[in-house]
Amino acid sequence: MNGRFYITTPIYYPSDKLHIGHTYCTVATDAMARYKRLKGDEVMFLTGTDEHGQKIEDKAREAGVTPKQFVDNIVEGPRGVKDLWKLMDISYDRFIRTTDDYHVTAIQRIFKKMHDNGDIYKGTYKGKYCKPCESFWTESQLVDGKCPDCGREVTDAEEEAYFFRLSKYADKVQDLLENTDFLEPRSRVNEMVNNFIKPGLEDLCVSRTSFTWGIPVDFDPGHVVYVWVDALSNYITALGYMNDAHDDYEKFWPADVHFVGKEIVRFHSIIWPAMLMSLGEPLPKKVYGHGWLLLDGGKMSKSKGNVVDPYILAEKFGVDALRFFLLRTFPFGSDGNFSNEALIQTINVDLANDLGNLVSRTTAMVGKYFGGALPAGSGTWDAPTEPDKELIAMAGGLRDKYEAEMEAFQFQNALEEVFKVIQRANKYIDENAPWALAKDMDANGARLAHVMYNLLEATRICGVLLTPFMPGSMAKLFDQIGAPEAARTWDSAAKWGALPETVKPQKGENLFPRIDLDAAVKELEAAAEEARKAALPPIELEPQSPDYVDFDTFCKSDFRAVKVKACEHVKKSEKLLRFTLDDGTGTDRQILSGIAKWYEPEALVGKTLVAIVNLPPRKMMGLDSNGMLISAVHKEKGEEKLNLLIVSDEIPAGAKMC
């Protein structure tokens, strides 16, 4: 009997463009949703964006737009969140934005309901707040005085606020975590219980008054709902809970699984169940906390500037190869180190070599030896050889093994099982040496046809099971091996022999071309450098000094107009120019200045500049420098820029600047 399956990704903060780390969870969720649909389940796959909070308000202000304009651009705009999911072939059924009217109304009702039942009360908030994480912390939760999630500075906060009686639910939540399979992987349970519940679960501050970009508490103007209460509730409001925009709450809630990154497990496994208990609603069946994609050992994040752009990778290597890599390479529950080399090697070894070659060799041989179609009878053989038996047993038993791994969200293991069969099939080609059999088609034609049939059939079964991971490429693979619709289904993946005997494969385009590792890595590094530069602020200025200088001290600095009589490079120095200057005294003044990077000496001759002339003389590269030329400095895209102060030629040499 087919069932229903409700799966969610976290809803993303549209404070910056998404990176490959964000893509990871959504691709995993998509593979899971497609797998369940393949099995015949009715699936609801929810994703969306979490658009409120101070961070977004601040970013919008910096960008000079309203918060709504700011999030609209990142969610709906070019190369925004929705574009990215389209590119990555993400088959979500529903997309929620927490600024959607129906969600806003539902949150106000949810907040009121918890208030009316006594679980939300008014008090004063005193504590620590981490702005980037939008999280409140108690003193005891800080690590070295800093935010335990991101390690950044926290600030003191005190304001009138509403509180949620989280403490009331501590025992029930502990029981849920310790005595059920609610939270996986199991290792995350200890972390939650020991770090958060056992030290004493305090009531949670659930409203703010210090900023406005949030859902207003409708019965107390000035308060906005804490962003996590707003965000977590998306999983039910998107189904129509306390609103009329949708009506599938009864059908899909409780969710089968929430996939979330490990740093937000706390919100999903403690706060979220407590909120649902307060609302009297059923709890989700499972929360799965996946690991992070790391870059050079650290979490990828925009604020660290170490992000990998999924657009660049997908455009270069293909969407399916990227999807496959993410789930094939890293165990879902643990952290994994992303590298361009690992990506390219996975594509070359698994996809180009093992799978791609299997398909292209087999389809080419059927074309060459049988003119494109296998003869009737190719599906059976009276005296199966050991390799026949092994290949058929492995491919025939693959679906069950794969299913067990997929049900446990072990994507890497599920793919490992599939690739064992692909590798076995490649070995089967070598064992049967079709090119040798083809030398005497009268004697060996029937055997050769059977070998080809077995190869196509093993490939087909693998293709069905790879479809959730690489939907576009597997549709092409089925066309190439000649699999009819009925041989692309979940049922057919457990049936050896679902491919018609007189199958007509079509050799087609190379599904996964081999990639030149060195060249591709160089190109990617260059693109990353470009992107890094583009992300830098266009102009960066030295902050103004907060300290006063007293007037008399300032007046002691003697700035004069000076005219350049001669200018040349200082020998053996890349930086220094040597200036001979008319300073109005009648005696030439020599100043050395480290500006060779920005100026050709000849171009400065005749110019009127500004120098401070009463600095003590200094020796540089064996030459005296008597003063300093004044320049304006700033940074553009991270690069230092310098402009000498060149003033009007009408100013006579020696004129004092004051």
Give the residues lining the site for ligand ME8 (CB under 6 A). 10-13, 21-22, 24-25, 50, 231-232, 234, 260-261, 263-264, 292-293, 299-300
Inter-residue contact 415 to 328 (CB < 8 Å): yes
Give the H/E segment covering residue 568: strand 559-569
52: buried, middle or exposed (CB in 10 Å: 19+, 13-18, 0-12)?
Answer: buried
According to DSSP, the β-strands at 298-299 and 293-295 are: antiparallel
561: buried, middle or exposed (CB in 10 Å: 19+, 13-18, 0-12)?
Answer: buried
Burial state string for 66-81 with b = 16 or more CB within 10 A and e = fewer than 16 = ebeebbbebbeeeebb
Q: Find the shortest distance in angstroms from Cβ 260 to ligand ME8.
A: 5
Q: Find the shortest distance in angstroms from Cβ 534 to ligand ME8.
A: 20
**Nearer of residues 189 and 232 to ligand ME8, judged by Cβ:** 232
Q: Find the shortest distance in angstroms from Cβ 19 to ligand ME8.
A: 7
Sign of CA dihedral 594, 598, 600, 601: negative
Q: Find the shortest distance in angstroms from Cβ 299 to ligand ME8.
A: 5
Place of tokens 């293909």: 318
**Nearer of residues 311 and 559 to ligand ME8, judged by Cβ:** 311
**Nearer of residues 213 and 292 to ligand ME8, judged by Cβ:** 292
**Nearer of residues 57 and 263 to ligand ME8, judged by Cβ:** 263
Q: Find the shortest distance in angstroms from Cβ 26 to ligand ME8.
A: 8
**Nearer of residues 236 and 577 to ligand ME8, judged by Cβ:** 236
**Nearer of residues 248 and 263 to ligand ME8, judged by Cβ:** 263
Q: Find the shortest distance in angstroms from Cβ 232 to ligand ME8.
A: 5
**Nearer of residues 188 and 399 to ligand ME8, judged by Cβ:** 188
Q: Find the shortest distance in angstroms from Cβ 535 to ligand ME8.
A: 16
Distance CA 641, CA 252 (A): 59
State the residue number with the nearest CB to ligand ME8: 261
Distance CA 106, CA 128 (A): 29
Inter-residue contact 369 to 448 (CB < 8 Å): yes
Burial state string for 158-195 with b = 16 or more CB within 10 A and e = fewer than 16 = eeebbbbbbeebbeebbebbeeeebbbbeebbebbbee
Q: Find the shortest distance in angstroms from Cβ 152 to ligand ME8.
A: 14
Residue 183, SS3 per DSSP: strand
Burial state string for 393-422 with b = 16 or more CB within 10 A and e = fewer than 16 = ebbbebbebbbebbeebbbbbbbebbbebb
The secondary structure of residue 595, as a DSSP letter, is -
Q: In this structure, what token pair is assigned to residue 569?
A: 């490079």
**Nearer of residues 53 and 505 to ligand ME8, judged by Cβ:** 53
If phi > 0 it is left, if psi is from -120 to 50 it is alpha, else beta; for residue 515 that is: beta
Distance CA 188, CA 333 (A): 10
**Nearer of residues 241 and 579 to ligand ME8, judged by Cβ:** 241
Q: In this structure, what token pair is assigned to residue 313?
A: 């990778």
Q: Find the shortest distance in angstroms from Cβ 533 to ligand ME8.
A: 22
- Phi, psi dihedrals of residue 62, rounded to the nearest 5°: -55, -40
Distance CA 56, CA 70 (A): 8
Q: Find the shortest distance in angstroms from Cβ 77 to ligand ME8.
A: 17
Cross-strand pairs, 658: none
**Nearer of residues 10 and 387 to ligand ME8, judged by Cβ:** 10
**Nearer of residues 293 and 515 to ligand ME8, judged by Cβ:** 293
Q: Find the shortest distance in angstroms from Cβ 514 to ligand ME8.
A: 28
Inter-residue contact 94 to 238 (CB < 8 Å): yes
Inter-residue contact 159 to 149 (CB < 8 Å): no
Q: Find the shortest distance in angstroms from Cβ 540 to ligand ME8.
A: 26
Closest Cα to residue 505, out of 342, 367, 320? 367
Q: Find the shortest distance in angstroms from Cβ 356 to ligand ME8.
A: 28
**Nearer of residues 114 and 308 to ligand ME8, judged by Cβ:** 308
**Nearer of residues 330 and 496 to ligand ME8, judged by Cβ:** 330
Q: Find the shortest distance in angstroms from Cβ 491 to ligand ME8.
A: 34
**Nearer of residues 293 and 466 to ligand ME8, judged by Cβ:** 293
Q: What is the 3-state secondary structure (H, E, C) of 393-462?
A: HHHHCHHHHHHHHHHCCCHHHHHHHHHHHHHHHHHHHHHHCHHHHHHHHHHHHHHHHHHHHHHHHHHHHH
Composition of the chain by helix, strand, coil, percent to 5: 45, 20, 35
Q: What is the DSSP string of 596-655?
A: TTT--GGGGTT-EEEEE--SPPEEETTEEE-SEE-EEEEEETTEEEEEE-EE-TTSPTTP
Q: Find the shortest distance in angstroms from Cβ 643 to ligand ME8.
A: 40
**Nearer of residues 13 and 428 to ligand ME8, judged by Cβ:** 13
**Nearer of residues 299 and 641 to ligand ME8, judged by Cβ:** 299
Q: Find the shortest distance in angstroms from Cβ 253 to ligand ME8.
A: 15
